[in-house]
């Protein structure tokens, strides 16, 4: 789930490029573990900064146009380039496993229930 360019441009500038973990919620659905990439994805030679969310859950259908709410909990590693697609895929799989381990810790697990994810229907936050 990629954030639109306008959202990326408004991300806090002091967040370093890299791989993060946290919690994500699509619409008013359930809260799931996630891994977040912030940066330029050097393997794909992107020229624009992107924020890409990998929600650790299998959805039954696409959720284009839904509001994606995230809470960044921690940092895994800096952004880096890879020699092959296989090396990139392997690193992503390692990032997912690290995120799962970290988010199972009690101090991180409690954030899954934060009121941030349970806004009343129709509530608009930050003009979205």
Q: Tell me the per-residue pLDDT of 64-82, one tens digit each, with 9 for 90 and over.
A: 888 899 999 999 999 998 9
Q: Which of 52, 61, 86, 98 is catalytic?
A: 52
pLDDT at 44: 73
Q: Is 52 a catalytic residue?
A: yes
CATH number of the domain within which 80 lies: 2.40.30.30
Average pLDDT over residues 43-58: 86
95: three-class secondary structure by DSSP: helix
Report the domain count for the chain.
Answer: 1
Q: How far is CA 76 from CA 23, 31, 69, in A?
A: 14, 20, 20
Q: Does 123 map to a domain?
A: no
For the beta carbon of residue 12, count every other beta carbon within 10 angstroms: 5
Cα 36 to Cα 13: distance, rounded to the nearest angstrom: 16
Does residue 57 fall inside a structural domain? yes
Coil, helix or strand at residue 20: strand
Question: Is residue 126 included in any domain, yes or no?
Answer: no
95 lies in some domain: yes
Structural domain including 80 reads 5-117
Q: Would you say residue 124 lies in a domain?
A: no
56: region left, alpha or beta (phi > 0 left; psi from -120 to 50 alpha): beta
pTM: 0.86
Domain-embedded: residue 85: yes
């Amino acid at each position: 789930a990629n954030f639109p360019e306008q959202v990326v441009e408004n991300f806090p500038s002091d967040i370093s490029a890299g791989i993060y973990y946290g919690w994500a919620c699509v619409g008013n659905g359930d809260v799931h573990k996630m891994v977040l990439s912030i940066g330029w994805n050097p393997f794909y030679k992107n020229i624009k900064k992107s924020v890409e969310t990998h929600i650790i859950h299998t959805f039954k259908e696409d959720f284009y146009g839904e509001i994606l709410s995230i809470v960044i909990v921690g940092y895994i590693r800096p952004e880096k380039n890879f020699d092959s697609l296989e090396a990139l895929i392997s690193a992503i799989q390692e990032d997912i496993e690290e995120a799962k381990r970290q988010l199972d810790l009690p101090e991180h697990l409690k954030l899954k229930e934060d009121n941030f994810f349970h806004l009343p229907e129709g509530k608009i936050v930050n003009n979205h």
